[in-house]
Amino acid sequence: MKNSFFKEIPILSRRQFMASSAGAAVGAGLALGAPALLGQDSGKKFKVGLIGCGGRGTGAANDNLKAYGTEIVAVADLFPEKAEGAARSFKVPKEKAFSGFDAYRKLLETDVDIVLLATPPHFRPEHLEAAVNAKKHVFMEKPVAVDPVGVRRVIAAGEKAKELGLSIVAGTQRRHQLSYLETVKRIQDGAIGDLVAGRCYWCQGSLWVAKRVVGTPSGSWSDTEWMVRNWLYFTWLSGDHIVEQHIHNLDVMNWFLGSHPVRARGMGGRQVRTDSEFGNIFDHHAIDFEYPNGVHIFSMCRQIDGCWNDVSEHVVGTKGRSNCGDEIAGQNPWRFPGGGQNPYVQEHADLLESIRHGKPINEARQVAESTLTAIMGREASYTGKVIVWEELMKSDLRLGPEKYEFGPFPVEPVARPG
């Protein structure tokens, strides 16, 4: 039956998508040059390629399959065993399982309609740029860069995607979560008056670390391999945990305030996770982000065991306050009644439906700005200086090697404020 697989959509994605600011912004229609995925062969499923076959990549691929009407037809990873494992899971033929630093290029040469980008963040700008040049629709995990040069590449690729009518959805899934969407709508309608302050946290314990392999029968890991297999701990690969994790909360702040910060002041350090196996990132940061009109958002993030934990966002207005997620207190109290779908699936449903209806979603700039917000916090913490948005956006800071290959690569020293 014509378009029959779309009838299986289990999710009210259209309504939520249009309720979101991203959806409203892209309602203008399909631009020239978009690949006409639907209508060509209505019985055909979208062909999806996965780049970065780790925990979140395979999770995103499964979420994409749950959304509706797709099949994973190609996979790519730096390491052959990861690509092969994902190929087995998703029943992808061996010849469509690519590995190496250029695996993404080989995948983009196949006939996939959509790519899922889920490598460590450092590689995202290059992969996104190549995906857009290859005219693929994109789901990309956050964060989308680790430095201002990468942020600008993502913004430029996003603009090109707009011209081509391609959709780009980012893995900042709170933007696709009904409870957040209902809360932000009320706040934008004035439920808590003018926003005057806020705070957000991502404070948790420690994470996994992969012990370096040295002198085993199967060989030793080079510096690059060791770093990429422990990408969380190297600023050039992850951006530091303030960028890699805390971006979720900072993105909510930018969304609710309808802006990005103008200045950041902060401090941080590496108090507990001091061993070299933890690379060169800090284990805590505390930042004061100044937004337009003198609104300050206080942010804290930490990855240290045995301390209080909290992952949350809050805003305070002249008539009340909100936890951003599901509750408003003050003159217009409200509580989210429940409902909505798993946001990790919803974001794919929104992506697929935008393609289906020829109304591209483009979240590239918004997630690039949230990424730069987090980078701004990191630089404030690393340097001890006041970081100004306009200057950072123009900065030539670029982290990581110019050329990717396995071999020696020295670890940059841990930042010393001042």
Identify which of residues 82 and 162 has a Cβ nearer to ligand NAD in the complex: 82
Amino acid identity for residue 165 in this structure: G
Site pattern 21..60 for ligand NAD (x: CB under 6 A): ------------------------------xxxxxxx---
Site pattern 243..272 for ligand NAD (x: CB under 6 A): -x----------------------------
Identify which of residues 52 and 165 has a Cβ nearer to ligand NAD in the complex: 52
Q: Tell whether omega for the bond before 80 is within 30 degrees of 0, i.e. cis.
A: no
Beta-strand pair 284-290/296-303: antiparallel
Q: Please give the Cα distance from 184 to 41 (Å, whole number).
A: 38
308 C-beta neighbours (distance < 10 Å), count: 8
User: Counting contacts by CB under 6 A, is residue 313 touching ligand NAD?
Assistant: no
Identify which of residues 210 and 262 has a Cβ nearer to ligand NAD in the complex: 210
**H or E stretch including 147?**
none
Asked if residues 240 and 254 have their Cβ atoms less than 8 Å apart, the reply is no
271 C-beta neighbours (distance < 10 Å), count: 11
CA 111 to chain centre: 25
Listed ranges 32-40, 98-106, 158-166, 263-271: which one lies at the site for ligand NAD (CB under 6 A): 98-106
Q: Of the candidates 79, 298, 334, 406, which one interacts with ligand NAD according to CB under 6 A?
A: 79
What's the closest the beta carbon of residue 60 comes to ligand NAD, in angstroms? 8
Q: Of the candidates 16, 20, 64, 119, which one interacts with ligand NAD according to CB under 6 A?
A: 119
Identify which of residues 104 and 255 has a Cβ nearer to ligand NAD in the complex: 104
Q: Of the candidates 16, 64, 167, 173, which one interacts with ligand NAD according to CB under 6 A?
A: 173
208 C-beta neighbours (distance < 10 Å), count: 7
Q: Of the candidates 61, 103, 328, 415, which one interacts with ligand NAD according to CB under 6 A?
A: 103
Closest CA to 356 of 116, 1, 17: 17
User: Counting contacts by CB under 6 A, is residue 171 touching ligand NAD?
Assistant: yes
Q: Of the candidates 23, 49, 120, 268, which one interacts with ligand NAD according to CB under 6 A?
A: 120
Asked if residues 103 and 80 have their Cβ atoms less than 8 Å apart, the reply is no
What's the closest the beta carbon of residue 56 comes to ligand NAD, in angstroms? 3
Q: Please give the Cα distance from 36 to 33 (Å, whole number).
A: 9
The tokens for 16 are: 């939520």
* Residue 109 DSSP label: T
322 C-beta neighbours (distance < 10 Å), count: 25
Asked if residues 408 and 222 have their Cβ atoms less than 8 Å apart, the reply is yes
Beta-strand pair 137-140/296-303: unpaired
In the sheet that 114-117 helps form, which strands lie side by side, from edge to edge?
Answer: 97-99, 70-77, 46-51, 114-117, 137-140, 168-170
- Cα dihedral sign, 115-116-120-121: positive
Identify which of residues 78 and 328 has a Cβ nearer to ligand NAD in the complex: 78
What's the closest the beta carbon of residue 20 comes to ligand NAD, in angstroms? 16
Q: Applying CB under 6 A, what is the total number of residues that bind ligand NAD?
A: 26
Identify which of residues 50 and 415 has a Cβ nearer to ligand NAD in the complex: 50
Closest CA to 344 of 65, 132, 54: 65
What's the closest the beta carbon of residue 50 comes to ligand NAD, in angstroms? 10
Site pattern 345..384 for ligand NAD (x: CB under 6 A): ----------------------------------------
Listed ranges 32-40, 78-86, 324-332, 354-362: which one lies at the site for ligand NAD (CB under 6 A): 78-86
Residue 213, helix vs strand vs coil: coil
Q: Which residue is nearest to ligand NAD (CB)?
A: 54
User: Counting contacts by CB under 6 A, is residue 20 touching ligand NAD?
Assistant: no
Listed ranges 11-19, 70-78, 253-261, 323-331: which one lies at the site for ligand NAD (CB under 6 A): 70-78
Site residues (CB under 6 A) for ligand NAD? 51-57, 76-79, 82, 101, 103-104, 118-121, 123, 141-142, 171, 173, 228, 244
